[in-house]
Structure 1
Amino acid sequence: MTSEIHHELRDGVALVTLDRPVANALAPSLRAELCDVLANVMTDDAARAVVLRGAGNGFSSGVDISEYDGPLASPWISDLCNLIENAPKPVVACLHGAVLGAGFELALAAHARVASRQARLALPEVTLGLIPSGGATQRLPRIVGAQAALEFMLSGQVVAADDPRMARLCDRLVESDPLDAALDLARDLAGRGTWRRTCDFQRGFSDPERYRKAVGGIAAQLAAAEGPEHDVVKCVEAAQLLPFDRGLEFEEALFQDRLNSPEARARRHLYTAERRAAIFPEVARVPQPQHLKRIALLGDGALLAELAVALLDGGKHVDLIASSEGATEAVLKRVAGIYQGAVASKRLDASERDARLVRLARQDGAKEPPAVDLVMDTGQGAIPDDLSRSYAGAIWAVLGDGPRVASRSEYIADPSRCLGLRLYRPAHSVGLAEIAVPDGAEPAAISAVARMLMGLGRTVIRCSGAPGGVGDTMHAALCRAGLALAQAGVSPYAVDAAACDLGFSQGPFRMMDAEGLEPELERIDRLARLREEPPLPDWGLLQARIADGATGQAAGRGFYLYPENGDPQPDATVSAWSDAQDTDADLSNISVQEALHAALVNAAARLVVDKVVLRASDIDVVMVKGLGFDSKLGGPLLQADLQGILHLLRVMRELETLDPTLWRPDALIEDMVKNGRGFFGRSV
């Protein structure tokens, strides 16, 4: 077996190197080998000190997230950290590149740290629903104090080694490779014969009152009453109050409790799912795609303004080509309004706003437009021939799914460079996008658009050219299920309450009101027609409300009433409509929440079987980041695995006659039950 730890003697210093692809992750095999090597070095008389470093581009990325889903192998991170801290010879951590999670904790346990100024430090455990488990909550506040330690751990964000908050962390900072400085410091400590363990540091406790205020102030700012963030605060508080060993035991107990919590499982699931979503086959095939610098926006409407802001924020040059002079002015006014709000709320300086707006140009057709790399097209109206010729070399992104791309391709010089695109709204702030990839699409175009969107901070989901993609399909399934249940006599308000209990921030009827009932009817009906699915009879309540002039929130009434000042209120005519339905459906054995969940899971199974998505976890990402499902639950598919696919299959069979399109079990569901599988492994 290939060794994952290398060590050599350099003038009395044992240089121990972590060397495991990728990123020196602290896998069980590496931890065991590191433990053995350190034990041997400590008994080697020729080695007076130790320098611990990482091979390649970084020190260590920490523990592989998948390890948290099974029994934790020994030695665990806390064992290694204690071994390093209690070593009879000085240990110096040599830090460059990524120093993350458990890798950062190894560095904290060392007796000294030497880092490149560009080294990137982070403890991301709270983003996974966990807390550090190698003593960071006890060691870091001893060095940098409570305020800096808590800000660092609670954000989970990466900071540079020369960040002022980490000023006390490293003994030496260097501009380039820190190895020579680390070797020199190790020899110096060995020569002096004295060094200090991190557990003996007291600088962070030098102002006890300030320490307590920092802990109390941050605890008061946390919105949730429980969660990993509160556990981190408790541990940092314990660092001041308890002896070091007791503090480590306290951290270990809270870590174990958090490790087994459903929230931690959900957060790990989403963390992994978002990173898997970035794995596009085309991105792998075209690792250095065209850099898209100048983008033309074609069409009109509020979405165009949001797109302009998103692109300007990302450093792009934007040409606005609206359908009319009035439409151009409306888009420019909305762009200005978005930026004015950012300046007023101090999220942006006026100078930064002005610098971005300089890169926004309007094209009025009076002169030849400049060459662009990408056209983002709302798909409204025909494309003038001269414009199509001017942009013949550009990639074309139509805001819509595969069928909309197909209908637009006849206007475009090279249909292979035409893709579908959905940016979730508001497009300048919601970090999710779908790329619809029609058959025959050019890999270089797909890679370029995907890379650009990722560079804008978006999580990007790759879809086939099927109607609806992921978001519209799942949204339509939820809304159609709500309408079907209403036709079966269930109150729409009970449906919305059940959807919130399931995990949504809003139920389907509130969602439809917010979007507008007429566009919602068009969207749901269009998908049904494209898939040759039978509609519900006249779309029931949705069509009835439109006929009554109740077209949604903007009109002041839809399924709900919207007073000028106050929260949405139920409408008695809506309740009366559902009460009046004459139905044979028997829902006495099924909760509304189960019915909605079953419809979503069945729709998701069809997306997987039809290969609309690359992987099932992409669907949970869309549900959480695009459709308002609670991130603490991880998504409806993860919940299906945790609660049991068999139960949902029974619900589908009970409801199949109510609407076969929604609830007739897909073959994948039956196969998973037969084989005891779920979407992400074994099912309950």
Structure 2
Amino acid sequence: MTAANPVTTAREDGILVARIANPPVNALSAAVRAGLLAAAREAAADASVKALVLAAEGRTFIAGADITEFGKPPVPPSLPEVIDALEALDKPVVAAINGAALGGGLEVALGCHARIAAPGAKLGLPEVKLGILPGAGGTQRLPRLIGAAAAARLASEGEPVDAAKAAQLGIVDAVAEGDLLAAAKAKALALVGTAPRRASALTDKLTPATREEFEQAAAAIAKKAGDNPSVAAILDCVRLTFDTPFAQGMAAEREAFKRLVADDRSKAMRHLFFAERESSRIPGQPKGTTARPVAKAAVIGAGTMGGGIAMCFANAGIPVTVIETSEEGLQRGLERVGQTYDISVKRGSLKPEERERRMGRITGKVGLEAAADADIVIEAAFEEMGVKKDIFGTLDRVAKPGAVLATNTSYLNVDEIAAATSRPGDVLGMHFFSPANVMKLLEVVRAEKTSPDALATAVEIGRKLAKVPVTVGVCFGFVGNRMLSKRTAEVERLLLEGASPSDIDAALAAFGFRMGACAMGDLAGLDIGWRIRKATGKKAPVADALCEAGRLGQKTGAGYYRYEKGDRTPHPDPAVTAIIEKLAAERGITRRAIPQQELIERLVFPMINEGARILEEGVAYRPGDIDVIWLYGYNWPAQNGGPMFYAGLAGLPHIVERLDRFAEQTGDESLRPAALLRRLAAEGRSFADLKESDVAALSAGAAPAKAPAAGA
């Protein structure tokens, strides 16, 4: 097989076996589509062929469409044309699903007359995660095969199901116990002489009763999805299966697909897909660098963060020791971990026996000497430099040679922490986000002397812990919190100028955030930022005043909002208005009503500006890295693609003009556009045009290369 001919055929026992080999994941490139169509025609034309079996080499059946073809002129044959040709055969067509059958891969399998899966196979329609929908019959064949409600859930959630669940749903006919290809061939021969079971012609799952079930499911799905256009389109297309001929449904699905592909929200989600894959690659790593082996871990600190990190290791099957300074603090932390697992058991997301296995991997000890046999040690103590230096000075003495020593600091200088040891090459930052056992982001902070293999170890461990690790450089707050500090400063300024906490949160909700800045502050606890500000000499007049009044957020029943006992619903509080008005009057500020669009721009544009500075300094290696950090660490709305991608949608010249105006209005020169932002705007470019080499040049003091002239 070659890249030009990734599908080959062979006659075996009277069956034409078409084998796909398009590594790494057998994506449905134009060559694969052409090969499958040729196989269908070959099977139809040869009277000696009794049936056709589709199989694949490697660990994947077909992982989906080749999304690098999106936005380019279509190359025939189209995927719907290929699937129609397979389904139209009068001879049995069976899919032997050996691994992932995702997106277009599952749609190909649905075009077959039967499907046999290996026990480890995964089947799903993940297109919704790219802001689109299945465009080759997924919304039309799957409901006819398994029912509209089940199909709508599968397509709108985008998560694959395993082979056993696929069999239960009716997606596959059987799960092969032994040789998959042999089972598929046996199924094909058993079907010879019978009428082909074409999914497009099935009607038994589309009854008035199942329509009622579908509408109930669709209402719940739509409520959860909000204004996600791809989910709405999926539901509309699935609904058509009840009373619309298959051909018309296919035409409607195709139109919806093309509309979504051109939608900015879809483009944003595809950008994030590629940015996440790219973020796993560590720039500047020497070729051949490998991670150190990690069999045991230790976490210093049994607080909320330390306990959450320990759970991550236990969930991944890695034994972990949780270390505290007192037996009382240790037991309190371990009890909190157990209670968190208990909640999962009660919800049904964790089996009791698995809860016991995970708790069995967590050991509690008092004293840093307990870290002696750990391969990786993560410090999650108080955010105070003196405390962290003391811990790392002791770890330098007690940790075994070659152990990776990581700090979970969210702001402090990792180089300074590393200097407290005699082995700075082993030291780096691993910044987890709270709650650590839930949030997917992991900022891996590469200090000046961090060794390549220590860095590789942290990134690999991050993946094993089911995190999305993004490598960043050293600065105050790194990438995420440094940008967040700009939004926090604007929240303070806007509150004094006339906005209420509800106004600010409503503006961020309109932008797409699931929770506003003030409600998020109350949830996290306002005292966290207050403690950091006191340690660094910074001020936040409104937040400081709230803390001084004992309003620390939800845990005290009052913060920016008030909370009823046992209720997390934020209620506007006149007492907060009085505090803000008093602070504004003391500063001579005349408060005014601020339009929502101005609120959005003043909250978002300074973050984009700080992102440009972060790129200039080389703290982030790619604009997409910043977008991934904000997606997974701060719940940035995916349909906007992250701060740096969104800058292109908003228009860099507009952002520059508004930032200059904000600087003039407020007298805050830090709001002036960063040099990179101003330069790109003047050249008619966006952050998406920056290559990794451009960012490297920026951090070295050079200007990014200009885009080539048209036609060059």
TM-score (normalizing by structure 2)? 0.83
Q: Mean Cα displacement is larger for which, 69-78 or 470-479?
A: 69-78
Question: 2:190 and 2:498 mapped to 1: Cα distance?
Answer: 81
Question: 2:507 and 2:85 mapped to 1: Cα distance?
Answer: 52
Displacement of 1:322 in angstroms is 0.8
Corresponding residue of 1:422: 431
Query: Counterparts of 1:601-680 in structure 2 under 5 Å?
Result: 601-657=608-664, 658=666, 660=668, 662-680=670-688
Corresponding residue of 2:216: 217
Q: Deviations over 1:196-229 (max 9, x none)?
A: 4333345545xx3552343133123222466433
Q: Mean Cα displacement is larger for which, 564-573 or 432-441?
A: 564-573
Question: 1:627 and 1:367 mapped to 2: Cα distance?
Answer: 35
Corresponding residue of 2:601: 594
Displacement of 1:262 in angstroms is 3.9
Corresponding residue of 1:346: 348
Q: Deviations over 1:285-335 (max 9, x none)?
A: 567633423222223532222222332222232222212233223322322
**CA distance change for structure 1 residues 667 and 6 in 2, over 3 Å: closer, same or farther?**
same
**CA distance change for structure 1 residues 69 and 487 in 2, over 3 Å: closer, same or farther?**
farther
- Give the 3-state SS of the residue equivalent to 2:406 in structure 1: strand
Corresponding residue of 2:201: 200
Q: Mean Cα displacement is larger for which, 517-526 or 231-240?
A: 517-526
Query: Counterparts of 1:399-548 in structure 2 under 5 Å?
Result: 399-400=408-409, 403-486=412-495, 494-521=503-530, 523=532, 539-545=540-546
Question: 1:300 and 1:103 mapped to 2: Cα distance?
Answer: 45
Q: Deviations over 1:372-410 (max 9, x none)?
A: 111111255323977643313321111115854333324
**CA distance change for structure 1 residues 98 and 164 in 2, over 3 Å: closer, same or farther?**
closer
**CA distance change for structure 1 residues 368 and 669 in 2, over 3 Å: closer, same or farther?**
closer
Corresponding residue of 2:704: none
Runs of 5+ consecutive residues of structure 1 not aligned to the other structure: 530-534
Question: 1:447 and 1:40 mapped to 2: Cα distance?
Answer: 49
Corresponding residue of 1:578: 584
The answer on whether the counterparts of 2:496 and 2:580 sit within 8 Å (CA) in structure 1 is no
- Give the 3-state SS of the residue equivalent to 2:436 in structure 1: coil
Question: 1:75 and 1:451 mapped to 2: Cα distance?
Answer: 40
**CA distance change for structure 1 residues 365 and 630 in 2, over 3 Å: closer, same or farther?**
closer
Question: 1:587 and 1:651 mapped to 2: Cα distance?
Answer: 19
**CA distance change for structure 1 residues 506 and 94 in 2, over 3 Å: closer, same or farther?**
closer
- Give the 3-state SS of the residue equivalent to 2:241 in structure 1: helix
User: Which amino acid is 1:65 matched to?
Assistant: I
The answer on whether the counterparts of 2:167 and 2:174 sit within 8 Å (CA) in structure 1 is no
Displacement of 1:545 in angstroms is 4.8
**CA distance change for structure 1 residues 550 and 365 in 2, over 3 Å: closer, same or farther?**
closer
The answer on whether the counterparts of 2:302 and 2:322 sit within 8 Å (CA) in structure 1 is no
Question: 1:397 and 1:426 mapped to 2: Cα distance?
Answer: 18
Corresponding residue of 1:98: 100
- Give the 3-state SS of the residue equivalent to 1:476 in structure 2: helix
- Give the 3-state SS of the residue equivalent to 1:289 in structure 2: coil
User: Which amino acid is 1:408 matched to?
Assistant: I
User: Which amino acid is 2:584 matched to?
Assistant: S
Question: 1:522 and 1:87 mapped to 2: Cα distance?
Answer: 70
- Give the 3-state SS of the residue equivalent to 2:61 in structure 1: coil
Corresponding residue of 1:5: 6
User: Which amino acid is 1:390 matched to?
Assistant: V
Corresponding residue of 1:395: 404
Q: Deviations over 1:45-98 (max 9, x none)?
A: 665643333333322111133434455544322122112222355433332122
**CA distance change for structure 1 residues 367 and 296 in 2, over 3 Å: closer, same or farther?**
closer
- Give the 3-state SS of the residue equivalent to 1:236 in structure 2: helix
The answer on whether the counterparts of 1:401 and 1:466 sit within 8 Å (CA) in structure 2 is no
**CA distance change for structure 1 residues 467 and 4 in 2, over 3 Å: closer, same or farther?**
farther
- Give the 3-state SS of the residue equivalent to 1:240 in structure 2: coil
The answer on whether the counterparts of 1:422 and 1:435 sit within 8 Å (CA) in structure 2 is yes
Question: 1:170 and 1:404 mapped to 2: Cα distance?
Answer: 54
Displacement of 1:188 in angstroms is 6.3
**CA distance change for structure 1 residues 325 and 56 in 2, over 3 Å: closer, same or farther?**
closer
User: Which amino acid is 2:353 matched to?
Assistant: S
Aligned length: 672
Displacement of 1:661 in angstroms is 5.5
The answer on whether the counterparts of 2:166 and 2:172 sit within 8 Å (CA) in structure 1 is no
Q: Deviations over 1:169-188 (max 9, x none)?
A: 44564345533444555566
TM-score (normalizing by structure 1)? 0.87
Q: Mean Cα displacement is larger for which, 167-176 or 240-249?
A: 167-176
**CA distance change for structure 1 residues 211 and 390 in 2, over 3 Å: closer, same or farther?**
same
Corresponding residue of 2:702: none
Q: Which of the residues 354, 359, 364 maps onto 1:362?
A: 364
Q: Mean Cα displacement is larger for which, 630-639 or 484-493?
A: 484-493
Give me the CA root mean square deviation: 3.6
Question: 1:82 and 1:10 mapped to 2: Cα distance?
Answer: 23
- Give the 3-state SS of the residue equivalent to 2:268 in structure 1: helix
Displacement of 1:265 in angstroms is 3.0
